[in-house]
Structure 1
Amino acid sequence: MFTCLALAAPLVPTTAAAAPLAAPLLPASGLVLSVQPEMGTLSTTQLSCEPAGGLHKHAKEACAQLMPVEGDFRKLEDTGAMCTMELNPTKATLRGKWRNKKVDFQQVYSNPCVVRAFTGKVFDF
């Protein structure tokens, strides 16, 4: 004769309030920056702002510079850096979104040093 012994936990109704899933914090500004000297290699990086991040080695400083000019690097002030008069036309490009608005800017400077002189940490990667 076999006896079955069943252990059962008492059934207790549970009401778990489902917490809404928090949306991931996405940057309000996500940019791809590139520098292409006529005589040199293309350099590209990613920059996220609000919060600052991405692959850019000076992300916090670059974002801090872009905030007051609404992401338009052409409005950045000259840093006063001294550059040689080397002629190596260099295109600086910034594409992506700035505060959820599409941006697509490019500017040609006389050489890579002048790019950094006029754009500070934004194109210093």
Structure 2
Amino acid sequence: MHGKCGSLLDAREVFDGMPERNVISWTAMILAYDSSEQAETALGFTQMQWTNIQPNHFTLSAIIYAIGRVASLEKRLEVHAQAVRRGLQSDLFVGNAFVDVYVKCGSMEDGLHVFDAMLQQDVVMLA
């Protein structure tokens, strides 16, 4: 809630004070920082894996969009490999995010490759 309202300090204070964090709280922080145009900080939250919390398709999508804002080819490839390892590369949310990021970073070929590999496409993908 604090993150959606733009109060990152309050959101971070609540997050830091949580006795137990889950994939939802980590994803919320990634989204909060990214939507406040602090993509670099958002990407710092990918450390969730070090706490034995595995990102889901929503988390990966949020990370991918943040990567697109910092145009990090290395990080993009790292997260794409992670999506493939987890079997999430053809997930609708993850696929949409990858297509968006690849196209924005000037790699139409990679975007088309992801699009073609997706098991389903939606209206967002076709627009």
Q: TM-score, normalised by structure 2?
A: 0.22
Relative contact order, CA 8 A, sep 6+: which one is greater?
Answer: 1
More helix by share: 2
Higher Cα Rg, which structure: 1
More strand by share: 1
Q: TM-score, normalised by structure 1?
A: 0.23
